[in-house]
Structure 1
Amino acid sequence: MARHIALVVEQALEDGPLTRRLVLRDPDGWPLPRWKPGAHLDLMVPGIGPRAYSLCGDPAATDRWEVAVKREAASRGGSAWVHEALRPGDAVAATMPRCTFPIAAGANRHVMVAGGIGVTPFLAMARALERQGADWALHLLCRGAPPCGDVVAALGPRAQVHDTARAPRPAWSTLLGTPAPGLHAYCCGPEAMLDGFAAATTHWPKGSVTMEHFVPPPLPAAESAVSYTLRRAATGEEAVVEAGGSMLAVLRGLGAKVNASCEGGICGACEVRWVEGTPIHRDRVLSPERRKTHLMACVAQCASSHLVVEG
């Protein structure tokens, strides 16, 4: 189970249409742990549970963490709480930041494309890249005023806002340029944008593009999934998981303390190590190398008769 950190809301800023930016600090003024650009954390929503938000502040600042949250009409409770309940001085609990959307190592040019509130991880990435003297560009697509507009403006001319209420969205080739050695492209936004980005970069070299979802995409049933026996290596306890069933729910039923937030394979909260069997990975965060030893319990299924996990 994730360790929770006690924080206090120092500021709750209205920062763009339906967007609220929280400045969070340690209640006693102690420095906060370092985090990597592209990281997110879970805020613990009273009566609901964890909700994941990207850190959008300066990664070099150790006295504050910042998140920006859009008020969603179909809120699962998190954005409504942030916008309607939180006030400066309120205490909040958060998990340690985790990074499933890192800056690409080895790239020498970085092009980031954001849709609306999907800009939040790029605000931190841009600051870090600028500090490194890296070559980067940020394109923010939005209708009307941008979220976190003051922060975006402070990044300078490399950050461009494209108001699609005033002019059509630029072509993907205009936004991304031509694939080249050392060029890495990133996208975070609504599913339609991510689908367009994926189609536009399908011919790019493997490993040169990265996407982050902020809403779990629909997951079709895995055709090769079977019913299997799930065993906890730590205790030897076992239970049967029906084909297509929830590994996360069964693990919790066996007493495993597995954290979870999105429950759609995009936030990285429910990562567990597996040691035997043939898991079916359906998450959007684990690298091929990481999948050799870990899985995301919220969406993983199994193609073998048994699966053994640590914990």
Structure 2
Amino acid sequence: MKARPITTIKTVVAGIEAAGAGIKLFTLADPDHWELPPFKPGAHIDLHLPSGLVRTYSLCNEPADNARYVVAVKREADGRGGSRALHDEIGIGDVIGVSLPRGGLTPDADIASHVFVAGGIGVTPFLSMARHLVRTGGADFTLNLIVRQELPLASHLAPLIDEGRVVVHRTSRSGRPDLASLIGDVRPETLVSCCGPESMTEDFERVTAAWPEANVHIERFVAPAAVIDLDAKPFTVALARTGTEIQVRAGQTMLAALQEGGIDIATSCCGGICGACKLGWLEGKPVHRDRILSPYERERYLMVCVAGSDSERLVLDL
């Protein structure tokens, strides 16, 4: 039984560029040179690698550059294998399946300025956003890039650095800057965003605790450890479109139960940070444990990889 097909776009690797220590920039294009599906600045795509691995990366280019998808990949020797496969096995002309883009910066007339805080390769989504804001003359922004010494994507950041849009903080010279001083006081017209190592995002969460949730955006490299709910009870997942009902055992994830029931679900991080398994819900009382959905989105959607249920029956829009 299949609830829905997992949509992928066929792309070919049109370019590979060295972009810093252990970093490669991959350019993906349609084999027949058609435009690719549109995306928001800083959106994510899942790469379905020939080995079967699925990994999520932020787009570096901006939406007007719609004939290609560009992602920066840092080779992580101790990672889960995706970056090693891309660096060591993928070459020009290779075919890679790509998901439809998701997430990214949504224009908001109430936001007059952005403060971006990036740690190393975490600059990738903000490079896309910065390029878009410069091209469109949109909201003002400052991109604070925190690195040990060498810049990632140096040639791509150089014009923004020359314009004073990017401020580089080298920790090898002066230590990590105080995040509170970079962000400043709460301002309702400002959106503050962070992408970087877990220690940085945790500090960022602390210094933005007083900010409205809608004014804070965080992207993570690695999903946090799974939450074990000792009080979790079994519940039923009902699929509204087919009438199918699937039992989720106590301690079992909703994702595992759906897959056990033969339902194809797109996945990548399996930790509530990438958005690949986002589904609509219609009835019940979901328990949200993801790190990506806004309060407004949680009224309609959940991430099945980490979500639970406080009701005995949860109806999904499947």
What's the TM-score once normalised by structure 1's chain length?
A: 0.94
Structure 2 residue identity aligned to 1:148: L
SS at match of 2:294: coil
Unaligned ranges ≥5, structure 2: none
Instruction: Report the CA distance between 1:101 and its aligned residue.
Output: 5.6
| Cα distance in 1, alignment partners of residues 243 and 121 from structure 2 | 44
| Cα distance in 2, alignment partners of residues 105 and 92 from structure 1 | 37
Q: Which residue of 2 aligns with 1:147?
A: 152
Task: Describe how 1:55-66 pairs up with structure 2 within 5 A.
Answer: 55-66=59-70
Alignment of 1:235 with 2:242, yes or no, is yes
Instruction: Report the CA distance between 1:291 and its aligned residue.
Output: 1.5
Structure 2 residue identity aligned to 1:277: G
Give me the identity figure in percent: 45
| Cα distance in 1, alignment partners of residues 219 and 231 from structure 2 | 26
Structure 2 residue identity aligned to 1:146: L
Alignment of 1:33 with 2:40, yes or no, is no
Q: Which residue of 2 aligns with 1:131?
A: 135
Alignment of 1:74 with 2:78, yes or no, is yes
Output one character per residue of 1:4-57: Cα deviation in whole Å (capped at 9) or x when no partner.
111111111110111111011111111112210121000002233311000011
Q: Which residue of 2 aligns with 1:161?
A: 168
- CA distance change for structure 1 residues 50 and 222 in 2, over 3 Å: closer, same or farther? same
| Cα distance in 1, alignment partners of residues 269 and 213 from structure 2 | 27
Structure 1 stretch displaced more, 228-237 or 21-30: 228-237
Output one character per residue of 1:147-190: Cα deviation in whole Å (capped at 9) or x when no partner.
11111112232112211112212212331122223111100111
Alignment of 1:204 with 2:208, yes or no, is no
SS at match of 1:166: helix
Unaligned ranges ≥5, structure 1: none
Task: Describe how 1:221-260 pairs up with structure 2 within 5 A.
Answer: 221-222=228-229, 225-260=232-267
Q: Which residue of 1 aligns with 2:51?
A: 47
Q: Which residue of 2 aligns with 1:286?
A: 293
Structure 1 stretch displaced more, 97-106 or 215-224: 97-106
Q: Is the 8 A contact 1:52 1:267 kept in 2?
A: yes
SS at match of 2:13: strand
Q: Is the 8 A contact 2:40 2:62 kept in 1?
A: no
2:284 corresponds, among 263, 274, 277, to 277
1:184 corresponds, among 188, 191, 205, to 191
- CA distance change for structure 1 residues 101 and 242 in 2, over 3 Å: closer, same or farther? farther
Two-structure CA RMSD over aligned residues (Å):
1.7
Output one character per residue of 1:93-115: Cα deviation in whole Å (capped at 9) or x when no partner.
11111115646552101000001
Q: Which residue of 2 aligns with 1:93?
A: 97
What's the TM-score once normalised by structure 2's chain length?
A: 0.92
Say how many residue pairs are matched. Answer: 311
SS at match of 1:23: strand
1:106 corresponds, among 101, 110, 113, to 110
Output one character per residue of 1:44-74: Cα deviation in whole Å (capped at 9) or x when no partner.
0223331100001122112211000111122
